[in-house]
Amino acid sequence: MDATALIAALQDAVPGVSLEPAASVDLQTTLLVPRDDVPRVMRAARDRDDLAFNFLAELTAADYWPREPRFEVVYILVSLAHRHRVRLKVPLHGNDARVATVTGIWPAANWLEREVWDMFGIVFDGHPDPRRLLMPEDWQGYPLRKDYPVQIRKGAQYAQPLQLTPEEFRANVERDRLRRT
């Protein structure tokens, strides 16, 4: 389904929504969706029979700092029934990086949204379990932001190989065998 047909179908399903086609180097249909319209557009994309995007294949983000809007949340939806896919991008400003959760539409979004929050600091309003997924709970900051400071300066280390005689090696192997029995 091309961008024009998809925009027409979504605007028919969600009157008043402002969708724009976006450039794509891979020729995948890509649309920009305003943040406030995300829940309605996503539900229409899933529920409308001629669209039937029933599979959320990916949810991620990109940081374009220092540009504004700084972030884009990227959803890749697939229609298994019609065998078409679409990329929906939601631009977000750096000082207000939040968008509504889509976990009520696609439960698989749960961990994907947690990962995006954990790495980029983008808040998913209404998320049922907003806690860190990859980083420790006490971690400060969001590692995939372009302005995240490099905190560790560590010089290169060289390890010396362990030198064993053949007798020491055999003794270690034998000791390990005895421990397992």
- The full set of domains in the chain, from first to last, is 3-180 (3.30.460.80)
pLDDT of residue 62: 97
| Tokens standing for residue 15 | 């009157």
pTM above 0.85, yes or no: no
Integer-rounded Cα radius of gyration of the chain: 24
pLDDT of residue 178: 84
| Tokens standing for residue 81 | 């029934």
pLDDT of residue 165: 86
Q: Where are the extended beta strands (E) located within 30-102?
A: 30-32, 55-63, 71-79, 84-92, 98-100
Profile the chain (181 residues) by mean pLDDT over runs of 10 residues: 84 91 89 96 95 96 96 97 94 97 96 97 95 87 89 61 81 83 70
Distance, CA of 171 to CA of 87 (rounded, Å):
60
| Tokens standing for residue 57 | 């294949």
Which strands form 55-63's sheet, in the order they lie side by side? 20-21, 30-32, 84-92, 71-79, 55-63
pLDDT of residue 154: 56
**3-state secondary structure (DSSP) of residue 110:** helix
Choose among 119, 122, 31: nearest CA to 75.
Answer: 31
